[in-house]
Chains A and B, each alone.
Chain A
């Protein structure tokens, strides 16, 4: 049998695998040779599994790793590629510099899980670049697991270029534990008929400070993009959402959709949608709703016998799903 993971199975691997499960990942997949995978704890590469059509080159840096992930033109990677990043100590920095290249007509889906269960003073920096070839498809799902201390600073920054007819979809989820500071900055450039969907679901607690900046540059004819964020804030958490779309080509369509729910009187939310139309045949729209939970939704659940608190939990769970 082919060796599943090229690097060592250490105690650290077991620990990071546990953290991976806490964040909703399937740790079995990290040892399964049918799944492409990359496992990184701090700046240690613990696991790496390539597949036919999927090349992963990775090197350790002083404070993280640098990875080049490439999918050959036309390659269809049927199973999701698992990326497991984490930092187990209370303090430290993890920088992930990554470059994704998805060849024309190829298709790949990443499941990334980032775990910082003990963070008291941790920085997690993601600097990603992605090039998605013509007619290619890439999906990137990232789920975070944080402990109760809220001692992390998380900076997921990405620049994504999608060639003609390419498709990109990302979903960022941080709903477990307390983060500390989160600063998302995604910039997507779309050529003709390319599509992009950027989703972020975040639950801010304690003194969390959250900033989400998602920008769509619709540069090719009939490019289509959607930015959607769902943010729930409690305690003294604060969030700022800045969704931006630039329509620079005929029949480009962009939509920004933001809902921020405040629980309690101390949380604070700001939404700043920005639409710029350069080609008058482009069409950009936005909707933003900030406030408490919809009264009718709560009362409907209460009319079925739920307490107010249970009703709130139910609505929030649905929104952040």
Chain B
């Protein structure tokens, strides 16, 4: 469904993505693991086509079409969306309006109230609240997941949906993502949590702007832990050495 070939991207003259290759299959939850600063969010922005994230080299294909030069809106209308690691605040916009915007392209998605209930926010308490006032970080992240549910995209890129979520609710959030996936949404799940990665169908490990390994989540988690623990070159791994283990 999503295929990325030889992606190079520099930010402020610094190479961040360096020949990245990734394939996400239709219908799967694909976890993306990697240490802080390895380029996970950058990859998410590049797939979404945000301004300033046009790759210098490489191609991105979605559902058989090349989208490397498409605008954000075009990509969204093809069925891609992104839930930001730190969602935007939006002064004066109510949660109801925000979710309605997402739902415009959603068609058969659950109602807005249902989307909120699914992410653990009682609709009656939240619909009329604005996004910039009195929402905790975790609540805001849940609203972002509700927006993805309302939009019902073909591919949802979730950038650390687990960060800011209280420990007791983590399992619920993972269940929301699984439910999303059961409704036919392919998920690229950026996470630091092993248990989230394990709940995925497949996983990839990102280091220094490259995918070093893709495979069974368990195997990728082990690879990540073993190699990143002993790697003392933060974001500058001895690529050749690791290459052999791919």
Interface residues of A (CB under 8 A from B): 230, 259, 294-297, 299-308, 314-315, 317-321
User: B57-85 CB contact bits vs A (8 Å, 1 = yes)?
Assistant: 00000000000000111011100111010
Question: Which of B1-9, B101-109, B237-245 lines the interface with chain A?
Answer: B101-109
Residue numbers in A under 8 Å from B130 (CB-CB): 318
Query: Which single member of B71, B88, B101, B104 contacts A296 (CB below 8 Å)?
Result: B88
Residue numbers in A under 8 Å from B167 (CB-CB): none
- Smallest CB–CB gap between A305 and chain B, Å? 4
Query: Which single member of B75, B80, B91, B101 contacts A319 (CB below 8 Å)?
Result: B91
Residue numbers in B under 8 Å from A301 (CB-CB): 101
Query: Which single member of A230, A297, A302, A305 contacts B104 (CB below 8 Å)?
Result: A305
Contact B151 A305 (CB under 8 A): yes
- Smallest CB–CB gap between B222 and chain A, Å? 33
Contact A300 B84 (CB under 8 A): yes
Chain B count of residues within 8 A CB distance of the other chain: 28
Q: Is B124 an interface residue (CB 8 A)?
A: no
- Smallest CB–CB gap between A299 and chain B, Å? 5
* Cα distance A320–B73 in the bound complex, in angstroms: 24
Contact A296 B84 (CB under 8 A): yes
Contact A308 B92 (CB under 8 A): no
Q: Which of B123-138 touch A at CB < 8 Å?
A: 130
- Smallest CB–CB gap between B79 and chain A, Å? 9
Known contacts A300-B84, A314-B93; decide if A295 and B51 are in contact (CB<8 Å): yes
- What's the count of A-B pairs with C-beta under 8 Å? 67
Residue numbers in A under 8 Å from B101 (CB-CB): 301, 304, 306, 314
Contact B81 A304 (CB under 8 A): yes
* Cα distance A300–B84 in the bound complex, in angstroms: 8
20 A-B residue contacts at CB 8 Å?
Answer: A296-B84, A297-B88, A299-B50, A299-B72, A300-B84, A301-B101, A302-B73, A302-B76, A303-B76, A303-B81, A304-B147, A305-B76, A306-B101, A308-B73, A314-B101, A315-B90, A315-B93, A318-B92, A318-B130, A319-B91
User: B89-129 CB contact bits vs A (8 Å, 1 = yes)?
Assistant: 11111000100011011000000000000000000000000
Residue numbers in B under 8 Å from A306 (CB-CB): 73, 76, 101
The chain B residue with its CB closest to the CB of A315 is B90
Q: Is B87 an interface residue (CB 8 A)?
A: yes
User: B216-233 CB contact bits vs A (8 Å, 1 = yes)?
Assistant: 000000000000000000
The chain A residue with its CB closest to the CB of B86 is A296
Residue numbers in B under 8 Å from A302 (CB-CB): 71-73, 76
A230-B91, A306-B101, A314-B97 known; 11 other A-B pairs, CB under 8 Å?
A297-B88, A300-B84, A302-B72, A303-B72, A304-B101, A304-B151, A308-B73, A317-B93, A318-B92, A319-B91, A320-B92
Query: Which single member of A294, A299, A317 contacts B51 (CB below 8 Å)?
Result: A299
Residue numbers in B under 8 Å from A304 (CB-CB): 76, 81, 101-102, 104-105, 147, 151
Which of A308, A317, A321 has the most CB atoms of chain B within a 10 A radius of its CB?
A321
Query: Which single member of A300, A307, A318 contacts B91 (CB below 8 Å)?
Result: A318
Q: Is B48 an interface residue (CB 8 A)?
A: yes
Known contacts A295-B51, A300-B84; decide if A305 and B105 are in contact (CB<8 Å): yes
Query: Which single member of A295, A296, A307, A321 contacts B92 (CB below 8 Å)?
Result: A321
The chain B residue with its CB closest to the CB of A305 is B105
Residue numbers in A under 8 Å from B76 (CB-CB): 302-306
* Cα distance A314–B97 in the bound complex, in angstroms: 10
* Cα distance A303–B88 in the bound complex, in angstroms: 12
* Cα distance A321–B130 in the bound complex, in angstroms: 11
Residue numbers in B under 8 Å from A315 (CB-CB): 90, 93
- Smallest CB–CB gap between B159 and chain A, Å? 11
Q: Which 8 A-B pairs have the closest CB atoms?
A: A318-B92, A305-B105, A318-B93, A321-B92, A302-B72, A296-B88, A305-B76, A297-B88
Query: Which single member of B75, B80, B87 contacts A300 (CB below 8 Å)?
Result: B87
The chain B residue with its CB closest to the CB of A301 is B101
Query: Which single member of B51, B73, B89, B93 contacts A307 (CB below 8 Å)?
Result: B73
- Smallest CB–CB gap between A298 and chain B, Å? 9
Contact A300 B93 (CB under 8 A): no
Contact B91 A303 (CB under 8 A): no
Residue numbers in A under 8 Å from B147 (CB-CB): 304
* Cα distance A321–B131 in the bound complex, in angstroms: 13
Residue numbers in A under 8 Å from B89 (CB-CB): 297
The chain A residue with its CB closest to the CB of B93 is A318
Residue numbers in A under 8 Å from B92 (CB-CB): 317-321
Which of B75, B77, B92, B151 has the most CB atoms of chain A within a 10 A radius of its CB?
B92
Residue numbers in B under 8 Å from A319 (CB-CB): 91-92
Which of A302, A315, A321 has the most CB atoms of chain B within a 10 A radius of its CB?
A302
* Cα distance A303–B130 in the bound complex, in angstroms: 20
* Cα distance A321–B71 in the bound complex, in angstroms: 29
The chain B residue with its CB closest to the CB of A308 is B73
Known contacts A318-B90, A320-B92; decide if A305 and B48 are in contact (CB<8 Å): no
Q: Which of B39-54 touch A at CB < 8 Å?
A: 48, 50-51
